[in-house]
Structure 1
């Protein structure tokens, strides 16, 4: 794979260098246009409502990022895209455990559970990508990205209660064209992209694109003498367009993407006192085994994780899209198959001790979708009506093992004085001091999910007058999920560990890994609808208001469920109810100063009943997390976008959002670490104060009124570019200087807010300066995180209620040079 990547990097570099001479092979007028921006009015054309229209005419809060802006700002995946769109949040500890949220909602914060849907739909050329792991890959030959905020279920065939990311790639052309780009930078950064398109015959055109990214990691592992959190991505996309008549396009697309990064790890951030006995908290446990963390400063970017790390991630698929202008409208069919292959290895104890020596849950997914829709645009009525069918199968095989340090770290030796070794004469003390009790203890997990979901949807736009439009939409959806989960447990000598024997060793092992087998299933019908009123006050001023009643599909727990006193699975917890969503939004879209300036404003409120939340268990492997329904959450706020281009020499933008997202009612939530780890308070007993060692702990906590995780109250994106006409090496063009910045205020990095897991607000600044020609040649230097801001992307609570807090620091300052060209 390294040889292939290096070959592609070198090949694209040569193509990029050759591009200036090729740029004159064809004039811009001869090429079929691929841009989504009208030269005459500077209007941005979008397909948010499944038809082409200008962004300012769409009554949706929408952020549009063009392909050039993606390249110029280094936003080559969804994680970086969030710096340009303030209400988009992306969180990841590895590709599988990733989540995309909009306005604070979309997916539970924490470990991913395959048994539920994402609330933010990701679509590439009309194809639904069900696994959010796809968001970690590089964008490949992208023309434009639309981030649609708010429910979109009546136009998009799968759950989009929080919004959608609609990605459009460049399509095959019947005129020859191409582009190439190569970048180098510090941290051994190398990136190359190329695409070429043209005719194979009068009716057949093809396009092929390739992308490769390679970068050294940003965290150094002293145990393995390797940099981790690296980037090692490669992607290919090929398209064939057959146009037998002027009113029929048939496009066949195939793509393949692979990541082979040394990933994913964390660094020590801090410890916080829990309610565990003091001798069972992190400092005492580490001292008892003579362990000292490599660094207590997370920005030293040092770790000592001792388990194997891997994040092998591969996706691909094929799609057949047919667009037929038939009758007064257009009939579109999209048939697609996608697969996902996930090969992880993790260190789940977050330390350099051999506590959890193996944690891996490889998964394989196959997904099939079929969408059929008809679009009509008339003088008084526009409509879209369609059907969508979806089938998904996921198979997962898990292996988790403990090592020789686990007994001492994991098992509670009983009441011993703080500072003592904990190896007294009692049975529980001796178990904790006998490595063989847990050394080699292994859980083998087998699970699968079958997910079937057909839907019918439609949306009508009735132009009552030239100014007033009424737009109702409906969707009828059926969901069926069938799952299987089995965990078998074996001692280090291979002996099965089962319930029944009551000897202390078996009891100790079962407290870490418990066998379980369940076959959860869920099915339900749902009907959702929305209504939007649009009023055009003037040619360049649009007002709109929307009400939506929608849902997110129910789900099943694919990672096991809690057990009762007899160790039987609590089957009532095997399924989670659908989220019921009510959404209100009002906004305006305006242009002024001869359309040199644009100002858009949106105010929203979303109420969700039966919010699907992750409930986490404090033990290592008994049950790390499962899904449950919180009573109610609410997110509300205001968003504003302003752009201005007073002349061809200068443009600027600023986007901002205030988001107030909180749990309205969640009375039985998991407790934060400062209220965990002690003996559970019984009837008539009062839990102790937070962070008091040895205090009683509540069974659960009421976090009603507290902020949802991952949401900053304030978020901004801003930037500007200035250029000056000039020439370089006898080529006419312009020198330019650009800046892009972002800011977000503090946010919680734990499902239940904790004093230990708030991430401070931070601001990032990116600069670029270069020279470009009208023919498409562009060379520029760039620096990202220019002021080397220290910030954390995410914090995680270590297992076992020991008080350990680890995190992932954001990228340091990076800089480099990019050479690009078009022909």
Structure 2
């Protein structure tokens, strides 16, 4: 169910047409393109889709980049509620991972897989929201709302964007503050008592040149998996977010400013049913393990439930929670220069807080009763970019970029009363591992400086040659500390009946779980990279008759 209301706007069938815009910023139809009223049923040709992947309004058919463009209408029509679900609409995009922290984004099978679990490594596919780079890929699991359009660019984009992205970029643009009053709302309902409400309001602040926009979203869904220990439904979903924008433009619109701020909160109980058990023998008949899953469960006195993923039942005995917040603020300034060049400055600060509680053994036995990795990430970025207006013999973009990131993690892992018998054997007392814990500190720092430029030479009506160059210099440093906490000393009388081999097995297991270590690492260096490509049209662009698909990016308004 959708409710959409616009105040102070008259929509007439004969109104001047708006081009269907699927780029980073909505743009108008090309000046020489026919309006929908002019394009009759007999007209044929290539649909005009305007994108701003290269920071200027261009026809998608003439941009020498592999781009998939989605508008808000496309996202709404497909029922997608997050970027993760967009992979169903975008060829070659894969978003993998079992929780919001361990996310891997790949385009054409390429991406920084290590970035899924290493908070010191950025993903190979960059995510930009309103021009701001998000270093942590967890943003893809948050519910999207008040989105104008999404561009997915395939291939390296380091000569167009501030951060060095080796596999591609996902560019998300929010709806802008409107200088006409607007009020929009949407209510959705689904199974498992899924409910979502979205609201947005926008309008000018008198004749001051300022406009404001406020949007919010709340989504809740009951769990889809029953936990027989807690007698509750898990795999629920609770997400709420708010976004605000203060915009300014001067009289001739030669200067514009956007101050954006957002906050997102997501939490749930998360665990999945077991789908199978690995055998003790490999396919070639060799021994994979002497003690399989059922042997270990028997030694611990644990009776596993039947393996039936479709029963949607689990017996996880430790809270398996997801608790995540992210947000930030950005200031975007755009100044028109002589010759219709534009100078853009984007200053941004962001944070990401991740505070989970995970039962890593995923069973009703008390083996790993606590697996936590609270993470606090902060980032600061500054981009300064100049872009030509387009349409000349040579179009170009050039910029400078600075990025700073700090991540602080405090791990905490604990063995439970069943750990010794499950992991070591029935002959070991529970005191061998019970309440033995590991904690520590993991720090990461990144400073990145870069300069980039990209230019396209329009040789003639058929041939375009594009080249780009980038220089990146980065400094990275990190610290790792790990210490053991708790547990019964091996000199305790409870272990007096054990053999030296058994005592060695306990010590080895403890050392592997909680090694006492500390080290610091640092590196820095710079590198030049570049790109070259050519676009050749089999027929001159002037021979195509464009057909304009006219649609509003706003819900409820269609010409």
Report the TM-score range of the alignment, normalised by the length of the smaller protein.
0.7 to 0.9
Deviations 1:683-740 (CA, angstroms, capped at 9, x unpaired): xxxxxxxxxxxxxxxxxxxxxxxxxxxxxxxxxxxxxxxxxxxxxxxxxxxxxxxxxx
Deviations 1:44-68 (CA, angstroms, capped at 9, x unpaired): 2211112111211111111111101
Deviations 1:768-807 (CA, angstroms, capped at 9, x unpaired): xxxxx999886xxxxxxxxxxxxxxxxxxxxxxxxxxxxx
Alpha-carbon distance, 1:219 to partner:
1.8
In 2, the alpha carbon distance for the partners of 1:461 and 1:774 equals: 30
The answer for the alignment partner of 1:26 in structure 2 is 9
CA contact (8 A) 1:442 1:489 kept: yes
In 2, the alpha carbon distance for the partners of 1:218 and 1:160 equals: 36
Q: Go from structure 1 to structure 2 and tell me whether the alpha carbon gap of 1:514 and 1:23 turns closer, same or farther (over 3 Å shift).
A: closer
Alpha-carbon distance, 1:513 to partner:
2.3
In 1, the alpha carbon distance for the partners of 2:338 and 2:8 equals: 40
The answer for the alignment partner of 1:374 in structure 2 is 386
The answer for the alignment partner of 2:245 in structure 1 is 239
Which secondary structure state, in structure 1, belongs to the residue aligned with residue 431 of structure 2? helix
Matches within 5 A, 1:413-428: 423=427
In 2, the alpha carbon distance for the partners of 1:774 and 1:34 equals: 8
In 1, the alpha carbon distance for the partners of 2:376 and 2:472 equals: 26
In 2, the alpha carbon distance for the partners of 1:491 and 1:160 equals: 43
Q: Return the match for 2:356 from 329, 344, 366.
A: 344
Q: Go from structure 1 to structure 2 and tell me whether the alpha carbon gap of 1:392 and 1:511 turns closer, same or farther (over 3 Å shift).
A: closer
The answer for the alignment partner of 2:211 in structure 1 is 205
The answer for the alignment partner of 2:260 in structure 1 is 253
Q: Go from structure 1 to structure 2 and tell me whether the alpha carbon gap of 1:31 and 1:220 turns closer, same or farther (over 3 Å shift).
A: farther
In 2, the alpha carbon distance for the partners of 1:390 and 1:775 equals: 32
In 2, the alpha carbon distance for the partners of 1:90 and 1:460 equals: 31
Deviations 1:96-127 (CA, angstroms, capped at 9, x unpaired): 11111111111216951112120000001100
In 2, the alpha carbon distance for the partners of 1:518 and 1:69 equals: 49
The answer for the alignment partner of 2:270 in structure 1 is 263
The answer for the alignment partner of 1:189 in structure 2 is 194
In 1, the alpha carbon distance for the partners of 2:9 and 2:258 equals: 25
Which secondary structure state, in structure 2, belongs to the residue aligned with residue 538 of structure 1? coil
Which secondary structure state, in structure 2, belongs to the residue aligned with residue 260 of structure 1? strand
In 2, the alpha carbon distance for the partners of 1:776 and 1:156 equals: 27
The answer for the alignment partner of 1:228 in structure 2 is 234
Alpha-carbon distance, 1:477 to partner:
0.2
The answer for the alignment partner of 1:272 in structure 2 is 279
In 2, the alpha carbon distance for the partners of 1:473 and 1:354 equals: 56
Deviations 1:7-34 (CA, angstroms, capped at 9, x unpaired): xxxxxx9xx65x5xx5575213699979
Which secondary structure state, in structure 2, belongs to the residue aligned with residue 374 of structure 1? strand
In 1, the alpha carbon distance for the partners of 2:213 and 2:249 equals: 14
In 1, the alpha carbon distance for the partners of 2:489 and 2:351 equals: 34
In 2, the alpha carbon distance for the partners of 1:363 and 1:343 equals: 6
Matches within 5 A, 1:409-808: 409-411=422-424, 423=427, 433-493=428-488, 504=504, 505-539=506-540
In 1, the alpha carbon distance for the partners of 2:375 and 2:104 equals: 17
Deviations 1:629-681 (CA, angstroms, capped at 9, x unpaired): xxxxxxxxxxxxxxxx9xx9xxxxxxxxxxxxxxxxxxxxxxxxxxxxxxxxx
Alpha-carbon distance, 1:85 to partner:
1.1
Alpha-carbon distance, 1:382 to partner:
0.7
Alpha-carbon distance, 1:534 to partner:
1.4
In 1, the alpha carbon distance for the partners of 2:318 and 2:222 equals: 20
Deviations 1:185-229 (CA, angstroms, capped at 9, x unpaired): 111100111211110122001111111111112222211122222
Gaps of 5+ in 1: 1-12, 414-421, 424-432, 542-590, 598-644, 649-772, 779-820
Determine which structure has the larger strand proportion and give its number: 1
The answer for the alignment partner of 2:300 in structure 1 is 289
Q: Go from structure 1 to structure 2 and tell me whether the alpha carbon gap of 1:110 and 1:187 turns closer, same or farther (over 3 Å shift).
A: farther
The answer for the alignment partner of 1:144 in structure 2 is 149
Cα-Cα RMSD: 3.0
How many residue pairs get aligned? The number is: 519
Q: Return the match for 2:403 from 386, 390, 394.
A: 390
Which secondary structure state, in structure 2, belongs to the residue aligned with residue 214 of structure 1? strand
CA contact (8 A) 1:150 1:162 kept: yes
Q: Go from structure 1 to structure 2 and tell me whether the alpha carbon gap of 1:351 and 1:333 turns closer, same or farther (over 3 Å shift).
A: same
Q: 340-349 vs 372-381, which deviates more?
A: 372-381
Matches within 5 A, 1:65-76: 65-76=70-81
CA contact (8 A) 1:373 1:386 kept: yes
In 1, the alpha carbon distance for the partners of 2:115 and 2:555 equals: 44
In 2, the alpha carbon distance for the partners of 1:36 and 1:27 equals: 21
Which secondary structure state, in structure 2, belongs to the residue aligned with residue 201 of structure 1? coil
CA contact (8 A) 2:201 2:213 kept: yes
Q: Go from structure 1 to structure 2 and tell me whether the alpha carbon gap of 1:110 and 1:437 turns closer, same or farther (over 3 Å shift).
A: farther
In 2, the alpha carbon distance for the partners of 1:775 and 1:102 equals: 26
Q: Go from structure 1 to structure 2 and tell me whether the alpha carbon gap of 1:199 and 1:524 turns closer, same or farther (over 3 Å shift).
A: same
Which secondary structure state, in structure 2, belongs to the residue aligned with residue 82 of structure 1? helix
In 2, the alpha carbon distance for the partners of 1:109 and 1:391 equals: 20
CA contact (8 A) 1:34 1:143 kept: no
In 2, the alpha carbon distance for the partners of 1:130 and 1:775 equals: 28
TM-score scaled to structure 1, two decimals?
0.59
Deviations 1:219-251 (CA, angstroms, capped at 9, x unpaired): 222111222222111111100111124200011
Alpha-carbon distance, 1:159 to partner:
2.4
Q: Return the match for 2:220 from 197, 211, 214.
A: 214
